[in-house]
Amino acid sequence: MDVRTGFTPWPDEVARRYRERGLWRGRTLGTEFRERAERTPDRVALIDGDERRTYRNLDDTADLLAARLLGRGLGRGDVVVVQLPNTAEFVILTLACLRIGVVPVMALTQHRQADIRHLFDITDARAYAVPTRYRDFDHLAMADEIAARTPSLRHVLVAGEATPPDRFRLAIREDGDPTTARSSIRPHTPAPDDPALLLLSGGTTGRPKLIARTHDDYALNARATADVCGITENTVYLIALPAAHNFALACPGILGVLFAGGTVVMSDSPAPDRAFALIERHAVTDTAVVPAVAHRWAEAARTTGYDLSSLRALAVGGSRLAPELARRVEPALGVRVQQGFGMAEGLINYTRLDDPDTVRHGTQGRPVCPDDEIRIVDPSDRDVPDGHTGELLTRGPYTIRGYYRAPEHNARAFTADGWYRTGDIVRLHPSGNLVVEGRVKDIINRGGEKISAEEIENFAYGHPAVSDAAAVPSPDPVLGEVICLYIVAKPDTEPSPEALREHMTRAGMAVHKLPDVIHVITRMPTTNVGKIDKAALRTDAARRQGHAIHP
Ligand code: OOB
């Protein structure tokens, strides 16, 4: 099935306007990178461990891999589920796919059978890229199990030294003649308005939805965020968050930095010891983290002896950054904090580096592109007066018009005239920046990873002893929120939290979606209309954690 089936394009006249205004440049992401590589072939593009590669080398390696993928029969419109840690292979494979119109689905290494199989079900992906093992988990074994029951999956692509010789190995050094590879792949260049990649949504009900981003729109996303973050050829950018996340991939992340000619440094963990060592060793100038990591770094910087003086700017986003923490992080790390409030669906807001402290510490910024449209509305979709809170709706040149192959969900998540309902409750600050005040969507934001409450509940209902289940966020000093699951057991059963967790693991639940806290209670609180009263459960979860309760 072609990847365009189930993709919602922008209306023709809107697309025409974005092209006329030069926002969509009609170049694929592969071409954007090629042009940059031709301009600065000898600069260092990518560092992973002791591996350093120049723009020329990265460009050649991506072409050689692209030719090898074509040789296996993969090409324009085919989908590959990519589940790789932050390594050079991730970058090389992504660039290779973008060159020949193979569409990567950006999965996280924490995903397990349930999510991965769901991704294959939606996309009919023909390939799956995995490490052999990662963090004590045998990814190759999981890939083989999935391959055995997924008829569309024909190619397991494996990264890492330990790849068995009979497997398709994603090699750091691809052999062959780059000129020959280049001419063999040229006829396979995709169209700039084709879907280039599929991101996973954080903010929806039920199973993760997929977000198709086109070459045109994602190139703008990367370029506009790189501009606002002051990324140049002299930037050395640390990828400390999962590379598959939009924030680390293109806000500005890997693509924004590569298109600007800077250097990308891969870190396989945001832990202070790892990240600080890389910052010192490579004189990193910029990076992006979630508030939980900013907090850990600020604490660790007091006692570790690393030289962090090269660090210039720290983008912080993904969940709410307390103003007090923003103020504390700056002197602790010797950086300027730039708050980022973005979403895989599109819209990215950033504070600007030269904004006054009140704005940089106390708001989540403003759109990065002048053609981003925003509205703040009440529950009847009427605009609220300036300064009042309401739900944020958005439309624009890099915001999707529909989730991928999800028509029923789209009818709720988008208005008839194409506005995306973000589910975020915001207010317009007098400075013209947005302040995120809460959300209407039923998700848990666990240290920046968004998890649908409904999805957790459905896993719980899979256990034979569960009669009622409700998942709510519970406040956590480090992660912001953790997952708290309330259970009512069926008569004469006594499921223990351990048994429930074990059941969910066996059912293939992603590692980061397993409940942090499980309470078995005798009766669910209900509202007047008989629905489970989640507000009461949230209050209870906070109380049990010993936190003050904010209504
Ligand atoms: C980023 O993207 P996603 O897709 O994982 O999550 C989007 C949602 C937003 O709708 C909002 O609910 C929340 O995450 N969020 C924030 C926030 N940034 C994101 N909530 C409060 N304050 C913030 N600064 O999380 C993402 C993508 C690109 C850049 C930055 C973050």
pLDDT in tens, 473-499: 999 988 999 999 999 999 999 999 999
28 lines ligand 1 (CB under 6 A): no
**Ligand 1 centroid – CA 536 distance (Å):** 25
- Residue 123 DSSP SS3: helix
Question: What's the alpha-carbon Rg for the chain, to the nearest Å?
Answer: 23
Q: Which atom of ligand 1 lies nearest, measured to the CA of 316?
A: 24
Query: Is the CB–ligand 1 distance for residue 339 below 6 Å?
Result: yes
Q: Give the pLDDT band of residue 354 (cuts 50, 70, 90).
A: very high
Residue 2: the pLDDT is 83
Q: Which sign does the torsion angle of CA 436, 439, 443, 444 carry?
A: positive
Answer yes or no: is the C-beta of 317 below 6 A from any ligand 1 atom.
Answer: yes
C-beta 251 within 6 A of ligand 1: yes
- 196 touches 98 (CB < 8 A): yes
Find out whether the beta carbon of 247 lies less than 6 Å from any atom of ligand 1. yes
pLDDT digits (tens, 9 = 90+) for 517-527: 999 999 999 99
Rounded to the nearest whole angstrom, what is the distance from the C-alpha of residue 245 to the centroid of ligand 1? 11
Check if 346 has its Cβ closer than 6 Å to any atom of ligand 1.
no
Give Cβ neighbours of residue 485 (< 8 Å, ≥ 6 apart).
456, 457, 460, 469, 470, 471, 500, 515, 517, 518, 519
Strands of 259-401 (E only): list them.
Answer: 263-266, 286-289, 313-317, 336-343, 346-350, 366-367, 373-377, 390-395
Predicted ipTM of the assembly: 0.99
Examine the pLDDT at 550 and tell me if it is beyond 70: no
| Other residues' Cβ atoms within 10 Å of the Cβ of residue 462 | 16
User: Which residue's alpha carbon is nearest to atom 3 within ligand 1?
Assistant: 343
- Closest by CA position to 110, among listed 244, 275, 212, 211: 244
| Per-residue pLDDT at 545 exceeds 90 | no
Residue 149 pLDDT exceeds 70:
yes
Output the CA 342–ligand 1 centroid distance in Å.
4
Q: Indicate which atom in ligand 1 lies nearest the CA of residue 201.
A: 4
Does the predicted TM-score (pTM) go above 0.90?
yes
Name the residue at shortest CA distance from atom 7 of ligand 1: 343
Predicted pLDDT of residue 549: 43
Q: How far apart are the C-alpha atoms of 29 and 217, rounded to whole Å?
A: 10
Report the residue among 325, 374, 441, 450 best suited for mutation to probe ligand 1: largest number of ligand atoms under 8 A from its CB: 450
pLDDT digits (tens, 9 = 90+) for 263-318: 999 999 999 999 999 999 999 999 999 999 999 999 999 998 999 999 999 999 99
Separation between Cα atoms, residue 364 and residue 339, nearest integer Å: 5
**CA 263, 267, 273, 278: dihedral to nearest 10 degrees?**
-20
Q: Hey, which CATH number is domain 443-547, 3.30.70.3170, 3.30.300.30, 1.10.15.40, 2.160.10.10? A: 3.30.300.30
> In which element (H, E) is residue 225 found?
helix 215-228
Mean pLDDT of the chain, nearest integer: 96
Of 130, 117, 125, the closest CA to residue 78 belongs to 125
In the structure, what pLDDT confidence band is assigned to residue 174 with cuts at 50, 70 and 90?
Answer: confident
Say how far apart CA 264 and CA 237 lie, in whole Å.
5
- Centre of ligand 1 to C-alpha 343, Å, is 5
Cβ neighbors of 372 (< 8 A, separation 6 or more) are 347, 394, 395, 396, 397, 399
Query: What confidence category does residue 548 fall into, taking pLDDT thresholds of 50, 70 and 90?
Result: very low
Task: Of 108-117, 195-204, 373-382, give the lowest mean pLDDT range.
Answer: 195-204
Quick one: average pLDDT of 310-330? 97
Residue 172 reports pLDDT greater than 90 = no
Name 298's Cβ contacts closer than 8 Å, sequence gap at least 6.
325, 328, 329, 332, 333
Q: Write out 94-122 in H/E/C secondary structure.
A: HHHHHHHCCEEEECCCCCCHHHHHHHHHH
205, 209, 245, 319: residue to mutate for ligand 1 pocket, most atoms within 8 A of CB = 319
Query: What mean pLDDT do residues 511-515 have?
Result: 97
- Nearest CA among 227, 224, 220, 225 for reference residue 192: 220
Query: For a substitution probing ligand 1, which of 110, 287, 341 has the most ligand atoms within 8 Å of its CB?
Result: 341
Note the pLDDT tens digit of each residue in 356-407: 999 999 999 999 999 999 999 999 999 999 999 999 999 999 999 999 999 9
Q: Is the predicted pLDDT of residue 547 greater than 90, yes or no?
A: no
**Ligand 1: distance of its center to the CA of 13 in Å?**
29
pLDDT at 1 over 80: no
Question: Cα(111) to centroid of ligand 1, in Å?
Answer: 19
Query: Per-residue pLDDT averaged across 42-60, rounded?
Result: 97
Does residue 551 have a pLDDT over 50? no
* Domain boundaries of the chain, sorted by first residue: 443-547
Atom number of ligand 1 nearest to Cα 245:
5
User: What value does the mean pLDDT take over residues 216-232?
Assistant: 98
CA distance 485 to 472: 6
